[in-house]
Amino acid sequence: MKLAYKIALASVLAGGSHVVAAQHTQAFTSDERFYHEGIELFDRAKYGPAQEAFKKYIELIGDNARTADAQFYYALSGLYLLHPDAEQLILDFVRKYPTHPKTALANYELGLYYFERKNYKKAVELLKLAPTHLLSIKQNKELEFKLGYSYFATKDFDNAKLYFDKNKATGFREDEHRFGYASSYYAGYISYRKGDYASAKADLKVAEKNEAYANIVPYMITEILYKENDIYEVIRYGEAALAKKPAVQQADEIALLVGDAYYQKADYKTAEKYFSQYAEGKRSLDPVVQYKIAFTDYKNNNYKNAIANFKEVALKKDALGQNAAYYLGLSYLKENNKQFALTAFDQARKNDKDKDVTEAATLKYAQVSYELGNFREVINSLSEFHKNYPDSEQAEEVDKLLSEAYFSSNNYAEAIRHIESMEKKTWRILQTYQRVTYHHAVNLFNDAKFPQAVAMLEKSLQYPYDKEVTAASHFVKGEAYSIGQRYDDAINSYGAVFRTSPNAKEDYYTKSRYGIGYAYYNTKEYDKAMTHFKAYLDAIKPSNPNYNDATLRLADTYYVNKRYNEALNLYERVVSSSSPDRDYALFQKGVVNSIIGRNDKAAQALQEVITKFPNSRYVDDAQYQRALVDFESGNYQAAVTGFSTLINGMPDSKLVPHALQKRGIAYSNLQQNDKAIADQQRVLNEYPDSKVASGALYSLQEVLGSENRTNEFDVYLNKYKSANPDDSALETIEFNAAKNLYFSQKYDQAIPKFESYIQSYPKSKFVPDAKYFLADSYLRQDQTKGLERMKAVIAENKSEFVNRGIQRVADIEFEAKNYPEAIKYYSRLRDLATNRKEQQTALTGLMQSYYRTNDYEATKRVANELISQGNAALNAYNSALLFRAKASYAQGNLDQALKELRETAQTASDVNGAEAHYLVSEILHKQKKYKESLDQAFDFNTKFGNYDYWLGKSFLIIADNYAAQNEMFQAKATLNSIIQNAPNKEIVAEAKQKLAKLDGKSGQNETQQLQDSIPANDSTNQQN
């Protein structure tokens, strides 16, 4: 509280008569003495004694009406003394005497009190009611400012501006009141805030004349000049402000604006001076500012600083980030760091916020890629250039670059796109197009991209210049359709091979027999399948990996057509072989013998499956069929024993309900009705929706009747009806609705649908499958929760998709590097596999898991099993060849590994072959056969040039061979070439380490620099 103004105010409050009275206190009556004594003390700002005097007067008179003035001064004295009860006393006075002359003054005083306490909302309410006619000029000026500031503090800027404008200084008088410059400052600020820069500038320049604001205002004025785009005045005024002593506030911000003004003038040397002043000591900068600083460094040829600043902005996804990435690339080129420039241009071209920058960055990216020898990437980056920039001035340069890159690359996809973009194509170009589309289709097929492979084969078949390529295209197309289970389309494609192949002895002609045989087999056209499997077997040798499999399928077709003796002969042939499918052949032998009444031989064959192949996926079938032979022969006690073995020893088998139902009938025939009843009841209790449930119901009815217990039957009849309702339309509709969401990959919507379905129809036959789909939906969104549910589906073992679930869990555990758990589930999938492809998928996972747990013997055992089965699963054969060799290598058996790796490289044209080819050169190097290792490594590019990682590794081994032969110049040149050209950062890192070692360095500094230059999230797509 500023007391000087309270003294001046007292005379106004007390009135003139009180002033005269204060000079003649001896003349007052004793009753009035205390009142006038209080007034005199109040005028002298002695508020404590004054309050005591007023208190005595009020107590002496004892009349509220007569003491109202004294009450007012008493409360006001307390307010000035900051007594805690003073505020309430003033409020009480206003409430008690609303018409009293001093009430308005009481509100005014209380308003000032609230202002001092920073309660601006209440201050506004009271100060706007102040009796201005009772106040002096200075008090009115104070009132204007404080009311304006209270409005300002409560964000009522319009009313605040009114009072500041009334109160502000003119700037022309030296005796301006003490609030004038403050009001000019705030009036200027409000105008600035509203965008009224002319008014703001005028007011702020007035405020600047006052010492209190001289150091505050310059930044705001400079910023206004900047916003007015008056860059010359920004420079003049800003530099003058920066020259002031002491330094003005926000000098760094003024320096930024001055620097930006010079930046706009393209005076980058001077801009750098002020930008540096701004940036000094700051840990982070606004992206726009940092970009301008970086661009200034670039223009001043200070490329290292430019790189440091552009890097911070280049990752932004807006136009600023795109420009920063582009100039970052140019800066790296100035520093001769092409690899890093390539990354920056790549970032810029993919941003696409500024089309001109995208165009320039795309061309730069292609040019640098070409200089680094990455021709495929040149084609990739420029493939759509003419379409995206039809009027580009760089069209001629792009065509030249594309042409040179195209003829230097063996990338089929890019070659295809380039040919397709050509306006005119000669027949030779179209012949090339036929071949490259075919080879690209094969690559897509090997990568399991079957729809794309088919589409590419369609393109190849449009130009049937080379008949062999045409036949091969039809064959691969048939294989793709078969994998996709589009058997009718597969049949058409295989049939086209027969029509177009120039020679019936061609490899694809023969393989098509096998493929079309399977297609007919899977569509249950067994007669046609029989014809082709027979023709296939006639065309191949028994050493062919698919010989035994084709023999089994031919036998199956005979079996279906009831040509049992012919089927039996073929099953016998496989049983006598070393085929991994001997268990199936033996099982079928037992089934056929049973059908033709040779029960002894049937029992013998089935028992052999059980004893010789205890881990076979057919062992439960064999056990069931073995017991069934006894059952159908009337040997019920033996049948009971056989069925019991299955029920008790293989509780997860899907044949358990069948065995229970049959055992129940056997017990009934043995007059053991209680046991018979128990078995049929168990079927209906545990498997009410199984295929044998109705048979169990009939058997139960019969045996209960014989025991005179027909009253128990209704319970099981109701259970059966509940599990097998006549009208299941609604639950089927709901299940299909949930499935449709699942197959549309709308997993977040499918999850609640399946949850609701399982809850609504707990006994539905679709529940096991619904649980599978629910678990798989969770797996695609929350792997932890999904994994737990999928394991529950597997444990329940009721869904027809349980094998898919096992594979999903195994794959997830494998990816999580939880190899023991992966081995557990892959093993189960192997045992439960329903076809050879599924079994080979399991074996492939097992093999790779064993390898990663350093169990090399188990790796080789599974690999050999896969190799013996042929290639039913995509690339399983190639992968098995590689891992068998890698296991031998890991065991230190280099000669054996060399033999196996060479076989792999010769057989496989995929990534497995690429790795094998490299490993051969690596082993030869370890054996100090440097020339052979060099020849092997140089030969890599002729077959596997598309595999960048293994190509890089091959060049690293080339450098190692040179160094071992003391050809240091060649070794260093090779490593430098890798560092400059290799797209794989891991390969570049290894090359740098080797080069540092050759240069006699410890490599420690080099390694640290390398770590700094490689992003933390970098990873190499290293296969196997």
Q: How far apart are CA 148 and CA 157, in angstroms?
A: 9
Q: Tell me the three state secondary structure of residue 467.
A: helix
- Single pTM value for the model: 0.48
Residue range 12-23: mean pLDDT, rounded? 35
Distance CA 293, CA 331 (A): 14
Provide the token pair at 100: 């009293």
Percent over 70 (pLDDT), the chain: 90
Res 772 pLDDT > 50: yes
Q: Which residue has the higher pLDDT, 167 or 326?
A: 326
State the average pLDDT for the chain. Answer: 83
Highest mean pLDDT: which of 133-142, 408-417, 1001-1010?
A: 133-142
Q: Is the pLDDT of residue 1014 over 70?
A: no
Q: Ramachandran region of residue 510, left (φ > 0), alpha (ψ -120 to 50) or beta?
A: alpha
Tell the burial category of 568 from Cβ atoms under 10 Å away from its Cβ (0-12, 13-18, 19+).
buried
Average pLDDT value for residue range 975-1001: 85
Res. 324: pLDDT tops 70: yes
State yes or no: pLDDT of 969 exceeds 70: no
Write phi, then psi, for 588 (nearest 5 degrees): -65, -35
Structure tokens of 597? 């009444």
What does the pLDDT read at residue 197?
A: 84
Give the residue, 276 or 132, on which the prediction is more confident.
276
Could you tell me the CA-to-CA distances from 812 to 515, 701, 780, 816, 823 in Å, in that order?
32, 48, 11, 6, 11
Q: Which residues contact 171 (CB under 8 A, 6 or more apart)?
A: 184, 205, 206, 209
pLDDT, position 210: 83
For residue 879, pLDDT over 60 is answered with yes
Alpha-carbon distance values, 76 to 46, 94, 383, 844, 923 (Å): 12, 12, 87, 95, 102
Please, what is the end-to-end C-alpha distance for the chain in angstroms?
82
Closest-CA residue to 621 (of 578, 593, 583, 648): 583
Please name which of 350, 383, 378, 379 lies closest in space to residue 366, comparing C-alpha atoms: 378
pLDDT at residue 1022 tops 50: no
The Cα–Cα gap between 563 and 556 comes to 10
pLDDT value of position 1018: 32
Q: What is the pLDDT of residue 173?
A: 56
Tokens of 246: 């002491």
**pLDDT tens per residue across span 529-577:** 999 999 999 999 998 888 999 999 999 999 999 999 999 999 999 999 9
- Does residue 23 have a pLDDT over 50? no
The pLDDT value given to residue 747? 87
pLDDT category at 26 given cuts 50, 70, 90 is: very low
| 326 pLDDT more than 70 | yes
Residue 425: pLDDT band (50, 70, 90) is low
> Which residues have C-beta within 8 Å of that of residue 1018, sequence separation ≥ 6?
985
Which pLDDT band, with edges at 50, 70 and 90, does 457 fall under? Answer: very high
Distance from C-alpha of 37 to C-alpha of 21, rounded to nearest angstrom: 10
pLDDT top residue among 993 and 206:
993
Task: Identify the weakest region by mean pLDDT among 37-46, 393-402, 578-587, 812-821.
Answer: 393-402
pLDDT band at 479 (very low <50, low <70, confident <90, very high): very high
3-state helix, strand, coil in the chain (%, to 5): 75, 0, 25
The Cα 638–Cα 627 span in angstroms is: 7
Q: Are 927 and 962 in contact (CB under 8 A)?
A: no
Answer yes or no: are the C-beta atoms of 205 and 224 closer than 8 Å.
Answer: no
Q: What is the CA 626 to chain-centroid distance, rounded? A: 53
DSSP code string of 108-164: HHHHHHHHHTT-HHHHHHHHTT--GGGS-HHHHHHHHHHHHHHHHHTT-HHHHHHHH
Higher confidence at residue 447 or residue 673?
A: 673
Radius of gyration of the chain (CA): 47
Q: Say which DSSP state 968 is in.
A: H
pLDDT higher than 90, residue 360: yes
Say whether pLDDT at 723 is over 60: yes
12-26, 675-689, 780-794: range with lowest mean pLDDT: 12-26
Least confident residue range of 45-59, 69-83, 393-407, 730-744: 393-407
CB proximity list for 141: less than 8 A, separation 6 or greater? 167, 177, 179, 180
Burial class (CB within 10 angstroms; exposed 0-12, middle 13-18, buried 19+) of 28: middle
SS3 for 49-87, per residue? HHHHHHHHHHHHHCCCCCCHHHHHHHHHHHHHCCCCCHH
Answer positive or negative: Cα dihedral of 303, 305, 306, 310. positive
Torsion sign over Cα 378, 379, 384, 389? positive
Q: Which residue has the tokens 């600020």?
A: 189
Q: How far is CA 330 from the centre of its chain?
A: 31
Q: How far apart are CA 483 and CA 292, in angstroms?
A: 57
- Quick one: average pLDDT of 438-457? 89
- Mean pLDDT lowest among 16-20, 76-80, 971-975: 16-20
Cα 179 to Cα 172: distance, rounded to the nearest angstrom:
15
Residues 6+ apart with CB under 8 A from 699: 661, 664, 665, 668, 676, 680
Do 688 and 763 form a contact (C-beta atoms < 8 A)?
A: yes
Average pLDDT for residues 821-825, to the nearest whole number? 91
Q: How confident is the model at residue 148 (pLDDT cuts 50, 70, 90)?
A: confident
Q: Round to whole Å and give the CA distance between 371 and 981.
A: 8
Percent of all residues in the chain with a pLDDT value above 90, rounded to a whole number: 33
pLDDT, tens digit, 9 for 90 and up, residues 632-679: 889 999 999 999 999 999 988 889 999 999 999 999 999 998 998 899
Phi-psi region of 671 (alpha: psi -120 to 50; beta: other; left: phi over 0): left
Q: How confident is the model at residue 333 (pLDDT cuts 50, 70, 90)?
A: very high
Q: 316 in the Ramachandran plot: left (φ > 0), alpha (ψ -120 to 50) or beta?
A: beta
Asked whether 147 and 163 are in contact (CB, 8 A), the reply is yes
On the question of pLDDT at 834 being above 80, the answer is no
pLDDT at 428 over 70: no
CA 969, CA 957: separation in Å to the nearest integer? 15
- Give pLDDT, residue 841: 86
Q: What is the pLDDT of residue 1009?
A: 36
**What average pLDDT score do residues 349-360 get?**
89
Cα 710 to Cα 707: distance, rounded to the nearest angstrom: 8
Asked if residues 351 and 317 have their Cβ atoms less than 8 Å apart, the reply is yes
Cβ burial of 714 (10 Å; 0-12, 13-18, 19+) is: exposed
**Sequence-ordered alpha helix ranges (H) in 300-383:** 303-314, 319-334, 338-351, 355-371, 375-382
pLDDT average, residue stretch 363-380: 82
More confident of the two residues 990 and 70: 990
Residues in Cβ contact with 480 at an 8 Å cutoff, skipping those fewer than 6 apart: 445, 450, 451, 453, 454, 457
Q: How far apart are CA 369 and CA 6, in angstroms?
A: 83
Token pair for residue 281?
Answer: 């000591």
Gap between the Cα atoms of 868 and 851, Å rounded:
19
CA 458, CA 728: separation in Å to the nearest integer? 44
Alpha helix stretches (DSSP H) within 464-506: 467-483, 487-500
Residue 212 neighbours by CB distance under 10 Å = 11
How many alpha carbons lie under 13 Å from residue 33 in its C-beta half-sphere?
A: 6
30, 53, 315, 966, 976 from 27: Cα distances, Å: 9, 18, 90, 126, 114
In the numeric block, the tokens 């308005």 are attached to 104
Residue 9's pLDDT is what?
Answer: 40
What is the rounded average pLDDT of the residues 610-619? 89
Model confidence over 898-922: pLDDT tens digits?
999 999 898 888 889 999 999 999 9
Highest mean pLDDT among 634-643, 790-799, 976-985: 634-643
Can you read off the two tokens belonging to residue 114? 């609230």
In whole angstroms, give the CA distance from residue 178 to residue 174: 11
The per-residue pLDDT for range 281-304, each reduced to its tens digit, is: 888 889 999 999 999 999 999 999
Per-residue confidence band for 1019, with pLDDT thresholds at 50, 70 and 90: very low
CA 25 to each of CA 21, 57, 72, 804: distance values in angstroms, whole numbers, following the listed order: 6, 15, 21, 111
Greater confidence, 975 or 19?
975
Give the Å distances, CA to CA, from 497 to 190, 502, 527: 85, 9, 20
pLDDT at position 411 is 66
